[in-house]
Amino acid sequence: MARILAEQVFQEPFTDERYAADAAKLTPCLDVRKGAWRRSSLAIDKLRMVCEFEAPDAEAVREAFRASGVAYERVWTADVYAVEDYPDAMRKLTALLGETTAPPTAAPAPPSESNDETTAAWNGVLFDKFVRFRDILTLGFTRHSDAALDRHPPIQGARVLDVGCGFGDVTAAVARAVAPDGFASGVDVADRFVQAARRDAEAHHIDNARFFRADVQKDDLGGPYDAVISRFGTMFFANPVAALRNVRTALKPQGLLCMVVWRKREDNAWVHVAETIVRDLVPERHDTGEPTCGPGPFSMASADTTSDILARAGFRDVSLLRHDAPVRIGRDIDEAIQFAMALGPAGEVMRLAGEEGERRKPTVIAALRQALEPYRTSEGIVMPSSAWIVTARA
Ligand SMILES: C[S@@+](CC[C@H](N)C(=O)[O-])C[C@H]1O[C@@H](n2cnc3c(N)ncnc32)[C@H](O)[C@@H]1O
């Protein structure tokens, strides 16, 4: 374990409410990375704070901040020297402060394990964005799920659950593979995705698929299932260990979990190029009250963190296989720019920045045009993406 320090800077004085909200987001992201908060020192003007953590390394704390959406300036590993370790200095301090002066204590609020905010985002603004860019997303995502299904083909006659099914195209593919005796179920926390998936399955006459709304972290998932599949549907839980434990209990003993999750953002130029540009040009805000997508698309990018989550959820035989695939984010540069500003971490920063984001849009568009140009091909703007195909046994 190492002692890690993180510095945060605030545009407006930090409040108790903001402290509770940030702690609720950060604590579960630290938990899964085996980190823990120790103490914080807040400047008297409440515009700057240094927090101390115990964690395996600085990257674990950085990842926890990123995954939780809590902004930070810098994170570094430190040797921390405390007055308690120096008896002479401690005696002086006690004399100076007097016995009655107790050090201030600010207990962090208990972490929120609720997915309510995430659900509101997926059922609202994110659903609308997914509808708008559905073709681009589905085509890009399918490259990864096809690779997963090729390696772990659903067995005819099996009962399979698709977690975070979205529009249900993977559920439908699985339903075809397990037909005529098998059955595919798609579960999603957002009602609008469930309705859309039902409509699509009906239109394509798939009668061995059903869709239901549930929060995978806490609701009954039916079952027992022979296998669970998920394409980019497991990275948004407030408590991933609880959610995956719930998934495990819905599986038969030895049942297979196969989930596709994004690898590190640096290998996902299709969203990361825009993210670096937007973070440079648009001030980040987390205090807007707007719902956010939850821990986020890169919350399972670390192989160590993800395998720990699965082990703690009771899975065994965990394996991760890297799968890279190009993604076309637009037929032309203008469509790619619209996509880049709407989705992924860049889209979240733009959305949360509100009017300020709108004001800076022309500058962002100009920078994106330049940055996306090298990815122009005869097929449109094509960029690298990279995922883990994660498997584990119940
Ligand atoms: C990135 S989308 C992926 C959708 C689909 N699997 C695909 O590949 O097109 C993530 C999905 O997970 C769903 N989701 C997020 N949190 C969830 C939860 N707690 N329980 C069930 N579904 C959830 C969202 O509503 C969304 O449809």
117 in contact with ligand 1, CB cutoff 6 A: no
Indicate whether 354 belongs to any domain: yes
**Which of the listed residues 64, 97, 130 is the one where a domain comes to its end?**
97
> What's the pLDDT at 108?
47
Residue range 376-393: mean pLDDT, rounded? 96
Nearest residue (CA) to ligand 1, atom 19: 215
Indicate whether 306 belongs to any domain: yes
Indicate whether 109 belongs to any domain: no
Is residue 250 domain-shared with residue 205, that is, in the same domain? yes
Distance in angstroms (rounded) separating the CA atoms of residues 389 and 261: 7
Residue 345, CA distances (Å) to 31, 52, 181 in order: 22, 26, 41
Distance in angstroms (rounded) separating the CA atoms of residues 332 and 338: 10
**Which of the listed residues 45, 66, 97 is the one where a domain comes to its end?**
97
Nearest residue (CA) to ligand 1, atom 14: 164
Instruction: Residue 388: give its domain's CATH number.
Output: 3.40.50.150
Domain holding 159, by residue range, is 116-393
Pocket of ligand 1, candidates 189, 235, 245, 299: which has the most ligand atoms within 8 Å of its Cβ, to mutate? Answer: 189
pLDDT digits (tens, 9 = 90+) for 297-356: 999 999 998 999 999 999 999 999 999 999 999 999 999 999 999 988 888 888 888 888
For the chain, how far is it from start to end, CA to CA, in angstroms? 30
* 139: CB partners within 8 A, 6+ apart: 327, 328
Is the pLDDT at 81 greater than 90, yes or no? no
- Taken in order 224, 227, 232, 236, the sign of the CA dihedral is positive
How many angstroms separate the most distant Cα atoms in the chain? 81
> What's the pLDDT at 294?
67
Is residue 86 domain-shared with residue 148, that is, in the same domain? no
Indicate whether 314 belongs to any domain: yes
Pull the structure tokens for residue 59: 């990257």
> What's the pLDDT at 118?
87
Residue in 73, 58, 70 with CA at minimum distance from that of residue 26 = 70
Burial of 204 (0-12, 13-18, 19+ CB in 10 A): middle
Indicate whether 102 belongs to any domain: no
154 in contact with ligand 1, CB cutoff 6 A: no
pLDDT bin (cut points 50, 70, 90) of residue 291 is low
Q: How many domains does the chain have?
A: 2
Is residue 149 domain-shared with residue 292, that is, in the same domain? yes
Residue 68, CA distances (Å) to 24, 72, 242, 311 in order: 9, 11, 17, 21
Is residue 380 domain-shared with residue 243, that is, in the same domain? yes
Indicate whether 87 belongs to any domain: yes
pLDDT bin (cut points 50, 70, 90) of residue 293 is low
Is residue 89 domain-shared with residue 122, that is, in the same domain? no
Is residue 310 domain-shared with residue 370, that is, in the same domain? yes
164 in contact with ligand 1, CB cutoff 6 A: yes
Is residue 267 domain-shared with residue 314, that is, in the same domain? yes
Lowest mean pLDDT among 121-135, 263-277, 350-364, 373-387: 350-364
Is the pLDDT at 100 greater than 80, yes or no? no
Instruction: Residue 83: give its domain's CATH number.
Output: 3.30.70.3090
Indicate whether 107 belongs to any domain: no
189 in contact with ligand 1, CB cutoff 6 A: yes
Q: What is the value of pTM for the model shown? A: 0.75
Indicate whether 105 belongs to any domain: no
Nearest residue (CA) to ligand 1, atom 16: 236
Residue range 74-101: mean pLDDT, rounded? 75
pLDDT digits (tens, 9 = 90+) for 211-233: 999 999 999 999 899 999 999 99
122 in contact with ligand 1, CB cutoff 6 A: yes
pLDDT digits (tens, 9 = 90+) for 149-201: 999 999 999 999 999 999 999 999 999 999 999 999 999 999 999 999 999 99
